[in-house]
Amino acid sequence: MSEGDFNALKQSECLRGTTLIPNKENTRKYAPQDLHFPFVAIQLQWSTLPIIDWHDIDLHSREYAFLKEIGVREVPDLQKLIDRIIEEHNEQKKKSINEYKLPIGLKFLAENFQQHYSKLWKTAKIKRPFLPSLSPSKTIILSLPEEVFKDESPLCATLLSNVIELFEEHFNISLLGVKDRPTLTVAFDILMEKKEEILNVETAPKIFAYMNQLDGLSRPLIERISKLAFIPLEGNNYFMKPSQVFIHPDNSTIESSSRLRQIHVILPTSSEDDDDDDEITQANGSSRRRRKRNVKTTPKNKKTKTVSSSSTPLIMDNIDKSGLIDYIDYGFEGNSFLLGIGVLHHPSANILAELLIDRQENYFKNLNSNNPDDLQRKLLAYTSCLRQLAIATNTTNELQSTSLIKRLKNESWCLGYQVIEKRSNNEKQRLFKIVPPNEIYLDDDHQCAIDLRPLLPPDEPELTKLYEKFGASWLSECVKRTLVHKGKIATSDRGNKLRDLIQYRLDMLFVNNRGEKMENLDGKHVDMLRTNLSVYEVDGIQCQLTFQKKTITLDSTDSSSCALEYDKNNVSLYFQKHIREFDYIDIASELARFVFKKPLDTIVHTISDKLASPLETLKRRGVPVDRLLQHNQQNIRSTIQMFQQKSDFNHNDNNHYHESYVEMTGRIEDFNRQQTKDDAKLFSMLKKGRAYTQTKFIQQEHVKDDIDHSCEAVPSANMTRYKDLFHSIPLYIERNVGITNKMLDQAKQLAWVLIGLANHVFKIPIETLHLYRDIDGARIAFNDRRALFYNLRYYEQVFADKVQPYLQVTSPSIPIIHTIVNFYFILTCHELAHNLEMAHNSNFINHLETIAVKFMTEKDLFLQQFSFQNYL
């Protein structure tokens, strides 16, 4: 038989074939390659497999060898065998794991793979799953070799143990392409494909811990993962990106003190050493099981460099910031995996800024209706985040990204507060808003802030700089302040003396101690003051404030004590005639606005000091008075001559004048000891009255001359506002004062008394009240341009210990509580009287008496209800 005839025989349907269960349809002629020897069908229990119709053929006969040579099969085609395995599996779908039996075809494949299928396997593209495996949901499924693994996994299918045993009896199952475990890249792809089905807060610890055991962590993979959302968050229906969640240092293996997470990257020195990916490990030394790269030595032919995987994380406080900054904890191994792919302990400044911008709206929308304090808690947390952002801005070079800076300038993230007044009951409310920086106004003029009620930042000094950096404006720069005189104009001796004083000292007002002119000085305006200045008394000064296209007019009592007006040729300074003493701060403010393009507060105070202080005092402070004024040839009296009134008193039998001088050191270390001395003097003085025994009282008409002295020694002050408010009242603390919990508690007690008097007795704004704590100052309270300050140290030393046993008592008849309320009632009356009269003269006494009588009844009613029980 020729070769052509032999090949034709292979292709022709020349052999009679049948099946194990024959019928008319399958008993017919077949091509040799479509038939199998009968033992194959018997072994596979495959009743429909075409076999040669020769059941008792001898396997060692010449006929068997010939049939085999022309194409009759000893094993089924690989694809048909795979289909048979799938068919057998599907017949057992309803069986449990314990009842499930491996397909006979699978056993046949294992037994015959090396001899008949190994070469075919390399080129065959098997696309149908055929390996029995256990899914993560604990059901038996079929899997492809590249999708199933030997080690148990919560993420992907695992080969049944008896499948592994079956193949391992005959050959290494890795020849099929089955691996022990997936690479991290493969596992992550599987995770992303199935995350909606398998990933939640309950399964995440196990899945992430499993992924922590896998090899293949590389820089490209980390960069890819960082952009994808796959981390579940409790209470949230969405997955988070690695940059959107954080892990507390206590919940991880990473050293908590490290502010910069680092990774070691092994860089090959030549292409021969190039691997698929650059392998990465954490510098903290945390181990991953079965990772060869976690060794202490580095091969000589490789070099190591350290690169930052993120910017510097912030050190956050313990305030709950859920919803803004979300922390997760998925166990020791799970956290280790997440830290390895870029999750941080705390957000960096850049990330925190993005979180505030993106999350602030939903954060404040989702309030817990069952918790009335939820809003206050969130405002506290949000302010804390802003504070951390401000600190990072001042101490690091972050927030430099052009795109982020644009967002910070134009989008809403700044917390601000605005006071509004209800028309119905005139009640004031403090509302918060989240706005872009350019809608926030920084408070550098507190009186304007009270009158205009703009949107102000929280009482945090750090936030002022932060807001200003991204576009917030200072309030004084946005308010147009117009001061004009009202009523009759008159010249006076004291007006002329003030003019002479300004002109005499002009050459040292706007220069430093070296004689150098201050910046932004308008020389022409200085010359106008020298040659064309006039000073007049007027009935009143009207102040108009224009802000955001709205104008309000203030009363003379709420306005400046003076106003400077000018034209091309003349400069006129007007002051209110009813004011007994010049307010040199007001005068200096008007002069500074006139001669400086942009005056600073420090300049105003410097000018005020140089006008108000005697020349000898300025010399002691280091001001070179003689040098600065040596070219001034005007014969003007010195400051002492101008402002010390010399009065001649006629002493006769009916009028006696006695002036007592009290040495005021300005220092009192212990108010309680001083109070005891004062009480002794008081009781002694009350007993020194005299009886008038005459039958008539005759007195000649005369005029009393009062000398108005300011006998208070006002020390210098350097105080900083404490971070928290006490019942909405700020506390200023002098430098070097140690802050204790006891002090803060006593501040709450005093604030509780003051807000009670303000709200229920005087009906004055809480914003006007302030506390301060000094070291040894003699003042109990003072009035700084209608801002009232109360010395906390006086309360500590005189009242705190005495009232301590009664703080939680509600009885209204406790003497010490009466004493405290009455004392601060009279003290507040005193300071309020200074709103109307600066000096301690007869006008002041009249105002004090009027205020005390006016509010005495309200005070008594308030005292009946007052207790310290709710001061905390």
Q: Is it the case that residue 294 has pLDDT exceeding 50?
A: no
pLDDT at 343: 93
> 491, 536 in Cβ contact below 8 A?
yes
Closest CA to 467 of 485, 454, 480: 454
Handedness of CA 141, 144, 150, 153 (dihedral sign): negative
Cα 728 to Cα 739: distance, rounded to the nearest angstrom: 19
pLDDT confidence tier of residue 369, bands split at 50, 70 and 90: confident
Q: Tell me the per-residue pLDDT of 23-34, one tens digit each, with 9 for 90 and over.
A: 988 999 999 999
pLDDT at 531: 92
Query: How is residue 48 annotated by DSSP?
Result: T
Cα 521 to Cα 508: distance, rounded to the nearest angstrom: 13
3-state secondary structure 272-314: HHCCCCCEEEECCCCCCCCCCCCCCCCCCCEEEEEEECCCCEC
Query: How is residue 76 annotated by DSSP?
Result: -
Q: Is it the case that residue 683 has pLDDT exceeding 80?
A: no
* Ramachandran assignment for 767, one of left (phi > 0), alpha (psi -120 to 50 degrees), beta (any other): alpha
Regarding predicted confidence, which is higher, 7 or 46? 46
Q: Is it the case that residue 607 has pLDDT exceeding 90?
A: yes
Tokens 């209204």 belong to 812
Q: What average pLDDT does range 204-233 have in this prediction?
A: 93
pLDDT confidence tier of residue 611, bands split at 50, 70 and 90: very high
pLDDT, mean over the chain = 82
Tokens 């003190």 belong to 257
Q: Tell me the per-residue pLDDT of 758-788, one tens digit each, with 9 for 90 and over.
A: 999 999 999 999 999 998 888 899 888 888 9
Closest CA to 317 of 257, 387, 251: 387
pLDDT confidence tier of residue 715, bands split at 50, 70 and 90: low
pLDDT confidence tier of residue 584, bands split at 50, 70 and 90: very high
pLDDT at 688: 45
Question: What phi and psi, each to the nearest 5 degrees, are found at residue 131?
Answer: -90, 120
Q: What average pLDDT does range 452-473 have in this prediction?
A: 91
Regarding predicted confidence, which is higher, 582 or 5? 582
pLDDT at 20: 93
Cα 543 to Cα 445: distance, rounded to the nearest angstrom: 14
Say which residues have a Cβ less than 8 Å from residue 108's Cβ, sequence separation at least 6: 43, 44, 75, 81
pLDDT at 399: 83
Q: Is it the case that residue 52 has pLDDT exceeding 90?
A: yes
Q: Is it the case that residue 288 has pLDDT exceeding 80?
A: no
Query: How is residue 762 annotated by DSSP?
Result: I
Q: What average pLDDT does range 682-704 have in this prediction?
A: 48
Q: What average pLDDT does range 422-437 have in this prediction?
A: 82
Q: Tell me the per-residue pLDDT of 239-255, one tens digit each, with 9 for 90 and over.
A: 999 988 999 887 654 44
pLDDT at 652: 38
> Count H helices, E strands: the chain?
31, 26
| Out of 194-203, 271-280, 313-322, least confident range | 271-280
pLDDT at 748: 94
3-state secondary structure 634-676: CCCCCHHHHHCCCCCCCCCCCCCCCCCCCCCCCECCCHHHHHH
Regarding predicted confidence, which is higher, 321 or 637? 321
Regarding predicted confidence, which is higher, 230 or 420? 230
> 472, 437 in Cβ contact below 8 A?
yes
Q: Is it the case that residue 725 has pLDDT exceeding 90?
A: yes
Tokens 């028309």 belong to 423
Query: How is residue 737 annotated by DSSP?
Result: P
Instruction: Kindly list the distances between the CA atom of residue 448 and the CA atoms of 479, 592, 637, 656, in Å, as whole numbers in the listed order.
Output: 8, 18, 38, 48
pLDDT confidence tier of residue 264, bands split at 50, 70 and 90: very low
pLDDT at 423: 65
Cα 190 to Cα 207: distance, rounded to the nearest angstrom: 11
Within 10 angstroms of residue 840's Cβ, the number of other Cβ atoms is 17
Query: Is residue 154 classed exposed, middle or buried when 0-12, 13-18 and 19+ CB atoms within 10 A define those classes?
Result: middle
Q: What average pLDDT does range 95-109 have in this prediction?
A: 93
Where in the chain are the domains? 3-74, 216-269+276-286+301-346, 349-475, 479-643, 719-865
CA dihedral angle for residue 720, residue 724, residue 725, residue 726, rounded to 10 degrees: -110
pLDDT confidence tier of residue 872, bands split at 50, 70 and 90: confident
Sort strands 28-30 and 15-18 into parallel, antiparallel or unpaired: antiparallel
Q: In the beta sheet, which residues pair with residue 17?
A: 28, 52
Strand order in 262-268's β-sheet?
A: 280-282, 262-268, 302-308
Say which residues have a Cβ less than 8 Å from residue 611's Cβ, sequence separation at least 6: 501, 502, 505, 509, 584, 587, 588
Say which residues have a Cβ less than 8 Å from residue 384's Cβ, sequence separation at least 6: 316, 317, 319, 321
pLDDT at 838: 81
Say which residues have a Cβ less than 8 Å from residue 4's Cβ, sequence separation at least 6: none
pLDDT at 424: 66
pLDDT at 634: 41
| Out of 63-77, 312-326, 394-408, 787-801, least confident range | 312-326
Instruction: Return the axis-axis angle of helices 523-532 and 493-504, rounded to nearest 10°.
Output: 140
Cα 755 to Cα 730: distance, rounded to the nearest angstrom: 12
- Residue by residue, DSSP assigns 408-472 as HHHSS-EEEEEEEE-TTT--EEEEEEEE-GGG-EE-S-HHHHHHH---B--S-HHHHHHHHHTT-
Query: Is residue 368 classed exposed, middle or buried when 0-12, 13-18 and 19+ CB atoms within 10 A define those classes?
Result: exposed
Q: Is it the case that residue 107 has pLDDT exceeding 90?
A: yes
pLDDT at 556: 67
Cα 141 to Cα 158: distance, rounded to the nearest angstrom: 10
Instruction: Return the axis-axis angle of helices 104-112 and 161-168, rounded to nearest 10°.
Output: 30
Q: Tell me the per-residue pLDDT of 815-834, one tens digit each, with 9 for 90 and over.
A: 999 999 999 999 999 999 88
Share of the chain above pLDDT 90, in %: 51
Q: Is it the case that residue 835 has pLDDT exceeding 80?
A: yes
Q: Tell me the per-residue pLDDT of 372-411, one tens digit each, with 9 for 90 and over.
A: 889 999 999 999 999 999 988 888 888 888 999 999 999 9
| Out of 35-39, 556-560, 767-771, least confident range | 556-560
> 33, 71 in Cβ contact below 8 A?
yes
Cα 793 to Cα 775: distance, rounded to the nearest angstrom: 8
Cα 495 to Cα 643: distance, rounded to the nearest angstrom: 12
Q: What average pLDDT does range 702-730 have in this prediction?
A: 66
Q: What average pLDDT does range 131-137 have in this prediction?
A: 91
Q: What average pLDDT does range 355-362 have in this prediction?
A: 93
- Residue by residue, DSSP assigns 747-761 as HHHHHHHHHHHIIII
Share of the chain above pLDDT 70, in %: 82
Query: How is residue 689 annotated by DSSP?
Result: -
Distance of alpha carbon 363 from its chain centroid, rounded?
13
Tokens 């079929």 belong to 142
Cα 672 to Cα 480: distance, rounded to the nearest angstrom: 48
Q: What average pLDDT does range 426-449 have in this prediction?
A: 87
